[in-house]
Structure 1
Amino acid sequence: MATKDAGTIAGLDVLRIINEPTAAAIAYGLNKKGERHILVFDLGGGTFDVSLLSIDDGFFEVVATSGDTHLGGEDFDTRLLKFFLSQLKKKHGVDVRNDPKATARLKRACENAKRQLSSQPEARVEVDNIAEGVDFSEKITRAKFEELCLDLFKKTLDPVKDVLKQSKLEPKQIQDVVLVGGSTRIPKVQQLLKEYFSGKEPNKGINPDEAVAYGATVQGAVLTGKDEIENKVLLVDVCALSMGIETVGGIMTKLIERNTPIPAKKSKTFSTNANDQTTLLIQVFEGERAKTKDNRMLGKFELNGIPPAPRGKPKIDVTFEIDENGILQVSAKDKSAGISETITITKDKGSLSTEEIERMVQEAEDFAIEDKKLREKMEEKVALETFAYALRQQINDEHRLAGKMTENEKMEIDTAVQEALDWLDEQKDPEADDCREKYKMLERVSKPIIEKIYKEAKPSSGGDKSAEESTEESADGGDEL
């Protein structure tokens, strides 16, 4: 009765009271899949509940319940807090356990790190001026977090075993495992559940914080005769705006296009735009315009430690991965050097309103012709510049062309390359057609010489490459950042 009264006080028309596990099952449409057994695993901030439901012809029965009223996200935060308090004392000689304000700030930072570790392999706990003259900053890996909390994670299986014992069922007789509560995002919790149920993936297509409200909304629609909206509620979400990174010339290079269904994952290879470049700045944007200055920045990070090499040679794989909750993870990896960096961007990080999204889309449509022309100009300019530098690298590399051509041939190509680069320096905003013409001019000079070299070379087990293939391979490090 108290729940119904609370709803009425809040201004709601209370049609029916349903329990949380039933609402979660309805959210996933499991009431429409015939006779089945469902385990609802509800791990929140402070409490933990497990319910086993039986569904037959739309009729729900809660067969068994179990749980722990003193287990949840708060306990995981506390484990992290204790660990970092000891690190603070060990590394800085500072003990803030008796300072409530400092402890509270550190605990908030721990909670934030815990959330990040659900979607990335490591996080950083930072608290400025935690004590006089001390700025605290420590990295923690997901593996360390799992080690600190493993006994608590394993403890979540006890109520699962209990409800199965109460209902006299085996794990293999459970058709669906439904996740509810923010703490179910923790990968180790999901892994333990999956292993216990012999590889069965838990249902996690709906935000676990919203699953119960979701199901209650659908049930309300059914009770008011508006159940046709139920099908709309479970539509796959999509990206409202395209997402990508800034490349040479301030161009927006998209990795995930607007209206792509989520979850989604896209990768693209990029490279450096200067010789011996050891750092890449990855700037992440959303929007539809050709120039990043007309789009919205979501975040940025640096990939450091790239081995010095000619421009265009390093291959940096940039990956965009967005999960069902709209959380975007962007990573950059140089496989040859074994280095990588990641940034996680949550959808509540200054999210745009529907009106702002519509304005940006309309703006892109209004400037579509200008943007297309601008992008084409920049692409042709970059193509010419990349081709010119690739040729220069080849004619100066003893293992490529330098050892196979005469000095006159080398000088002829180098002169053409220098003319093209000088022309690019003089032109502030060259037209696409002009860039294409300069590209063809370079080809006219270089191609006959390179083809002659490859024809004169003796074939070796079919491994020869044409002049065109050789030049393209040298230039194929990916778009330049």
Structure 2
Amino acid sequence: MANHALIIANSTYDDHHFAFLPAAAADAAQLRSVLSDPDIGGFQVEVLVDVGQRAAMRALESFFTRAGRDDLLVLHLSLHGWKDVRNRLYFVMRDTERDYPGSTAVSADMVGTFMGESRSRRIVVLLDCCYSGAFTLNALRREAGTPTVDVAEPFAGNGRVVLTASTALQYSHEGEQDIRYSRTAAQPSVFTSAVIRGLADGSADLDGDGLISVDELYDFVHEQVRQRIDGQTPTLSVDSAQGTIYLARSPRHVDVDGLAEMRTAVLDSQPWKRIGSLHLIGHLLGSIREPTRDAARAALLGLIADSDREVASRAARLWDERGLGEIPVGRPARPARPSAPRKPIGSSGPAAGIDFGTTNSSIALLEGEDVRLVPNAEGALTTPSLVAVAADGEVLVGTAAKRQALANPDYTARSVKLRLGTDWSITRGAVRLAAEDVAELILRRLREDAEAYAGQPPGLTVMTVPANFDLLQRAAVVEAARRAGFDVQRVLNEPTAAALTYGLNREEDTTVLVFDLGGGTLDVSLIEVSHGVVEVKSTGGDAHLGGDDWDERIVQHLLRRVWDGYGLDLAQDIPARQRLQEAAEAAKVELSSASSATIRLPFLASTAHFPVHLDETLTRAEFESMTRDLLHRCRRPAEQAIRDAGLRSSDLDQVILTGGATRMPAIGDLVRRLTGGRQPYRGLIPEGIVSGAAVEAGVLTGGVKGVLLLDVVSATLGFETHGGTVAKVIERNTTIPTISRKLAATSTSGQTRMTLHVVEGESTIATGSRTLAVLDIPDLPPHPRGTPLIEVALDIDANSTLRVTARELRGRTDELSRRARELSEARTAAGGIRSDRSPEKERLLAKLAALEAEYLSDREWQVSIDRSSMTQAAALVNSPRWQPLRDLAPLTWEDADT
């Protein structure tokens, strides 16, 4: 991590239209002295004075593209600015020609492009320039009020802060021959002079903590400029900057070194260094300066919330020893330092966790035992789960797709997660994208962001899916991720991942209900956490309920209001519905913290005589009333999960809310009612799921120790029997990995062929279940009806990958039932002893192996369930050829034997 500054100051210009600015060079020299001072800025500074366009472009490109992710970049421009008749901003270099700005000046858009390609997420731009060309001749300004055009607009993007000497249009005007400016040629820049003074003597350290942030510098400069020049208004534009950006240290602050050392230590990835910072915090708590004490107190609160138990315990002890009173309940978690993850030993790249969401997706990487969420190219920690096909065939992903969704709703794919495993697709021209293709594009974007962040591709990866996803949907997610370049080794249920994050480093026994309401699905899991073991006891949910349903209720409400007010039905007006959808989502978010939300959509549509303007106020009470039935649907899965685990709501120690839709107050109220008034835990919103996936990836790579995850199968697995009913082999909520067997018997006398139709689901009939595989078992010896001939084994691993094996039971007709009973009893006896090392279990396993060798034939039929096998099996079951094969379905031996 380093500090770099580039100063471009142009005093002289070849084109006589641009006036001489002698103060620019002097300002640059003074600013360089301050920024490079190791006691103030410590920047590596490059200064270009009276530079030509080509050299300036080369310097700018090198400055931004060679920067590291954690580097702090400061660009200062002291020169003329020029706006052409199309309102495009150019920076004037020594050899710029006014009539040819596109080829001889540096465009603001090009600087913005360089910034966008930079890996740095901390960029500060200081613009000390004026410009013209956007006004009518000889007009001082457009209007008496402050102009609204912002000079920072071309520089919007990740972690960028732009300070300008004035609002975009103040003081700029155009004469017939020459360009005039807000200061005379000999007058030093008030703006740059204020910047230099604020940094040089520490005047900009407004809170007295020894460090000068960008916000403090702006406040100081703003006040200085306004006092000296009436009407000039410096501006500040901030875009996606994470946390506080500090530019310099105050040279007159005696505690500045201690505060800097403290901030570094409390953010260190090593727990022992964070513990070491407590000594320094104790010293700073005794400072006579209130800002120093406040900074130390805030740092101590962060350590009290540290994920390491020893760090948190010692920090809380120091808090009590210093008599600081009751620890605030809403204390912030320890902030994460934005550093690039280290490469784990023995891995091709950092372990990764992915939360592929209905609305947004995210990726996290493991650094040591810490998790780092990866920002995308726009600086956000989540990427919209959207893909669009433009008119020219270009495919847009993520934020780019979201920006144009309003204008291109028909060809913008959203909520594709819910369409995985179906034949859904979107086609425009020569471009056709299936659901898995859209998922692949989104996941590929996550992979590119992770590679840019870490400097190398991610390694072993864990994906999360809704708990109620079936095997086909899980297989589709894994296939899309692998096509995107991920090495997927485990698929976790989303509530399980959240519980893993919550349960990390917890030693006390805790029973937790995880309530995960995302954009499109509801998942509920009951989980027991103890001494590093996270064991799922039950799962439930609703695959067709999510935050989108709450949005749709608002949309329907607004459609009715338009109908009532204008007699206009907009239900099929796609552009109008898209605007209503976005307004509904914004209103839902606002109602999470406010009692009412105002929805204003001018020119939403038009009738034959007048435009339709929508201006509605929606109260939280109205919103909750129109969605009461959705809330009731949330209640059932939670109650079912508690019942399935054999518990009562009073047995719960904690209820965790995760998923963006749980921010709605009504969800918290529902959970409190379900649990007898227990306050839900919201500390995992929104990153709990992706963090848990990254932790599990660390477990698999060996980077995280002392954690054992025991997940469950989310749906019952079995096979169809004669008559169309389902024989259950593995029950829902069975801990995985697991293997279970059931004996299949002939359904008719003399049957020499058997069809094994493997299904998934809770229905008792096969037609209400999802087809997983069909095994054709031919050439069986003829026996009477009800004779056990086939042992069916369903083996599901920790990744929810299912393998089906069928083996023939051999012997004479009169001995097959006895052999089947002996084999079944031997399996039950061996499975009843938990210890793998007891002599008794070894004896029983040896007996079972001998029976298998004697009673089971070498003939076996096997299939591993994947998307291909499921697709082929489903096609067969839905074809005319199925009914004759279905008639060959077996009986279970237990049914035939009774």
| TM superposition score normalised by structure 1 | 0.44
Q: Which has the larger radius of gyration?
A: 2
**Greater RCO, CA 8 A, separation 6+:** 1
When you count helix as a share of all residues, which structure comes out higher?
1
| TM superposition score normalised by structure 2 | 0.24
